[in-house]
Amino acid sequence: MKKYEKNNQVYTVQEGSELEIQLIADGFKEKKEEKDSVSDPYSKMTVDELKALLEERSIPLPEGKVTKKDLTALLEKGNEE
């Protein structure tokens, strides 16, 4: 499924459908999905909050300086296991 947008109108259409072709012909542009808090629940959390969550889940923190990206990766890896 793809989203197309023009002015305040947004349509979600099946890829390759006749409607998609018509929307493109009418000047609609594909709306690229941005990573949001639904797909990345850690995006709005601070480093301290991420560290607390890691400790709560008994995931060991790496030594030295760590970035938010590093902490998020550890949490995501922990969720997969």
40-62 pLDDT, tens digit each:
788 889 999 999 999 999 999 88
pLDDT of residue 34: 61
Residues sharing a CB contact under 8 Å with residue 22, sequence separation 6 or more, in sequence order: none
State the pLDDT confidence band at 39, using cuts at 50, 70 and 90.
Answer: low
Least confident of 6-20, 35-49, 64-78: 35-49
User: Is the per-residue pLDDT at 81 higher than 80?
Assistant: no
